[in-house]
Structure 1
């Protein structure tokens, strides 16, 4: 087990909370940060809106049906980035080992901290208090011996919570968790694990490395380690995003001509995730996996980058025409991604979500 002390800090409903902080009339109301319209996706939803089932990356039109009384606020990324910088400055008072994941969450390695606090828990308490006092927002935090566990812990008592997993508690904490809490275990892998009799992390831990590798290939090694709470990935400060992507593996193989709804859904997820990245992507990627597990990718760097999820989907769909296929060939997976990130050009951020 690693001797590291890791804190994962996750701002609660970040964009929506900034809006509620700055506009008193929005407090306690179901706030949805998104442009209205079928071409928009939800960037964030307040906890009042989440009670109606509204979630990030959801189509704004669907969110409006779920929560007719929702108050739609257009995103203001310039303001969100300023708040994110203020929060990051607080992190840096305690450690230089800060790895931002997006504008609203980050890993901190506080194995050694700048202010001499005796425990990582005390560091997390101090950080959350300073965020509340200086930025006037709530943050949840998880404290654990590694990144994998710290991220699970930060979600454990959301919103506005703190949860600590001590090294001696790792095995007992993980054992009853559903396998879906393991990073990399999506719907399809979860179903495969269930067919093999593994529904909890404890079930996975009971299997040998050889058995997991036989069924899951190289990912079997990762499953074996995470089920035991082992994650040696270090906190890497200032690591730039290489790509943002979303994939879907189908329960039944489909023809390329049947994929448009799936591609549009993946584009919505990628678009919403990209709004949390301070830099701009230049390249759109389409990934396909055939029924016999051959991977094909196509990419394009458009002269004018998509300005909405709908436009991103259109570019991805244009790449379908460039994907070679045999008559009647079927596919088991589709993915949409963004890559080739660079610093954003000076432009009006608010225009990004307009139709």
Structure 2
């Protein structure tokens, strides 16, 4: 049997009949860190790392200046400190990031009605749905205008990819980083993908990549040469066929404006393992209340309560309870979470707790009762004593800190010196740098007692003054 020898590919001119580059992918560069650099003039051009700062903290994102030292997202903060000890380490300011994200998403909405957000700093846009003519001149102009508008409104850089599909647009935005624009011209898709590693394709995770590697397939070009039948043999019919289609540069997934949220959850990781059962129960109750707050903020309710517990040995347990109907009642969610906790052994210690609600709906069980009562009016209840109500749950008080907690990176205001942010705190002192987003130069640094009555938490200032935007 003759061994098949692959023939060298012949270079061909791009085929202009490919799909027009009307799918735009925006990825804000190092978003959290970029927001902090824009808000704090003293950090511009310097390594900035945002994330959890405790012994078990994890890097959420870092500036490009920090990436030079090998720091990256999801790295333990302790490791990042060893690699880049002179960086600014800041706690996240979620409310600020959400506000800036809202400004960016509003600009995308002006560009097209079909916007598919993937996260606070990333989204797909269908330019054709926004009336942009499907040719390279007009789509490129729209992308450049978007980048300029984002810079003017937020002061932040963003990278944009343009292509005929979502997969290629996302790859293009990666090639555009930082702060650039990359367009995949029709007919060049296969040449662009050929040398890239298989992990570039959607759906190829570590396990799939390892299966392909054992078969000698590490690049996308090798996937194409292997053929669909071989990939189906290795990965199964649906997965193998899908990967082959992607490898040939095809992706028919549309931009979907509405992404239905399947669950709402909150979780906390603790610097020191929790052992006290009453403390753990109190944390679960607090997380349940926070979860319901998010649930109500989204205008939703849910019928399945989920408890997540990561123990001292890193084993993670999940327990769930499905209610008779959807609810957004904090008492109901709290009691369900506490019942679930009763089935979990926490004697060895707990390092993470989480509470979530799934099976979301736009109504609650109480709404259904009210609708039924309106449709089926019945006789008035007979007079008599009201049934006894269950006693309200006992709220476990959280211990009051001996002093106020000043988190690095968070905003403060001093009665005399004005707005600033916390550079560091400890041993009864807090160090503040007084500067604002529009300051032309780094601000002055002063240190105060952490209980100084003139110092209080401050409101974040806009990155760009509204009159300038």
Q: Same fold (TM over 0.5)?
A: yes
3-state SS of 1:172 partner: helix
Deviation at 1:210, TM superposition (A): 2.2
- Kept in 2, the 8 Å contact 1:142–1:152? The answer is yes
Distance change in 2, residues 1:305/1:107 (3 Å): farther
Kindly report structure 1 stretches of 4+ aligned residues shifted beyond 6 Å: 278-282, 336-339
Separation in 2, partners of 1:183, 1:108 = 18
Alignment of 1:191-202 (within 5 A): 191-202=210-221
Alignment of 1:55-94 (within 5 A): 55-94=72-111
- Kept in 2, the 8 Å contact 1:4–1:111? The answer is no
Deviation at 1:10, TM superposition (A): 0.2
User: CA-to-partner distance for each residue in 1:232-259, whole Å, 9 max, x for gaps?
Assistant: 11111131343699xxxxxxxxxxxxxx
Distance change in 2, residues 1:47/1:341 (3 Å): farther
Cross-structure match for 2:58: 41
1:283 is the counterpart of 2:309: no
Alignment of 1:1-355 (within 5 A): 5-114=22-131, 119-217=138-236, 218-242=238-262, 283=306, 298-300=318-320, 303=334, 340=358
Distance change in 2, residues 1:81/1:241 (3 Å): same
Deviation at 1:319, TM superposition (A): 9.2
Separation in 2, partners of 1:305, 1:53 = 44
Q: Identify the structure with bigger relative contact order (alpha carbons < 8 Å, sequence gap 6+).
A: 1
Separation in 1, partners of 2:98, 2:77 = 22
Deviation at 1:111, TM superposition (A): 1.9
3-state SS of 2:218 partner: coil
Separation in 2, partners of 1:319, 1:206 = 52
Distance change in 2, residues 1:147/1:299 (3 Å): farther
- Kept in 2, the 8 Å contact 1:2–1:230? The answer is no
User: CA-to-partner distance for each residue in 1:239-287, whole Å, 9 max, x for gaps?
Assistant: 1343699xxxxxxxxxxxxxxxxxxxxxxxxxxxxxxxx979963579x
3-state SS of 1:155 partner: helix
Separation in 1, partners of 2:179, 2:47 = 18
Deviation at 1:193, TM superposition (A): 1.2
- Kept in 2, the 8 Å contact 1:285–1:339? The answer is no
Structure with max Cα Rg: 2
Distance change in 2, residues 1:339/1:223 (3 Å): farther
Unaligned segments of structure 1, at least 5 residues: 246-277, 287-296, 307-314, 322-335, 344-349
- Kept in 2, the 8 Å contact 1:6–1:108? The answer is yes
Root-mean-square deviation (Å): 3.6
User: CA-to-partner distance for each residue in 1:64-95, whole Å, 9 max, x for gaps?
Assistant: 12211111111111111110010111111110
Unaligned segments of structure 2, at least 5 residues: 1-17, 266-296, 310-316, 322-332, 348-353, 362-405, 408-469
Separation in 2, partners of 1:88, 1:234 = 18
Deviation at 1:15, TM superposition (A): 0.6
Distance change in 2, residues 1:5/1:86 (3 Å): same
- Kept in 1, the 8 Å contact 2:114–2:130? The answer is no
Cross-structure match for 1:266: none
Separation in 2, partners of 1:129, 1:12 = 14
Separation in 2, partners of 1:49, 1:36 = 16
TM superposition score normalised by structure 2: 0.54
Separation in 1, partners of 2:70, 2:264 = 25
Distance change in 2, residues 1:285/1:206 (3 Å): farther
Deviation at 1:342, TM superposition (A): 7.1
Distance change in 2, residues 1:132/1:305 (3 Å): farther
Give the count of matched residue pairs.
281
Distance change in 2, residues 1:201/1:98 (3 Å): same
